[in-house]
Amino acid sequence: MLERIRQLVLDIEAADNDFVFLPPMSEEEVGEVEEQIGVRLPEEYRTFITSVTRGEEDTGYEPLWSPADGLLLLAEGQDQPGAPFPFSPQQAADLVKRVRAGESRAIEGPCDGALPIYGGSAGEGFACLVLSGPLQGTVWSYWDLGWTPEFDAETGQIETFFEFAERVLREYLD
């Protein structure tokens, strides 16, 4: 999957000159981010930012943000990326079932244990990578109604970072 993602980044840059992906981060830079947030980044995300790109340059498009850009969105003293993510796998599974049935759209909770990695269109909120706990490495959207896991519409499976990144990057090519 990593090679498909790497190719999508190259295809996006070739198709649209407005997209400029930044070079990958060094292990030292990643270590500085991890020290700042107080937790090791999930492996898929670490691999992406150290071998593909740290994110897209701040041009207003930004299909995937750098860790530094994501940290700028957190409310200082309020949002704690190193704290435990507020939801359990059972809560996640229950919410996915309710969302798929059209009964619920989100659950409320603090913006803890996650790092913003992607901005939705029209200021609809942002997608966050879960940094710790049993849901580590999955992607959730955080918006005015609360949290919603990013999941495969057919299977209901919550997306990992690589699954989310591949889907989002493909959308930019469509």
pLDDT tens by residue, 120-150: 554 567 889 999 999 999 999 888 778 899 9
Average pLDDT, the chain: 86
pLDDT at 78 over 70: no
- Domain ranges for the chain: 2-173
142: exposed, middle or buried (C-beta count within 10 Å: 0-12, 13-18, 19+)?
buried
pTM confidence score? 0.89
Q: What percent of the chain has pLDDT over 90?
A: 45
pLDDT tens by residue, 15-70: 866 778 889 999 999 999 999 889 999 999 999 999 999 888 765 555 677 777 77
13-19 CB contacts, 8 Å cutoff, 24+ apart? 15/173, 16/172, 18/59, 18/61, 19/56, 19/59, 19/61, 19/63, 19/172
The CATH number for 2-173, chosen from 3.40.50.300, 3.40.640.10, 3.40.50.2020, 3.40.1580.10, is 3.40.1580.10
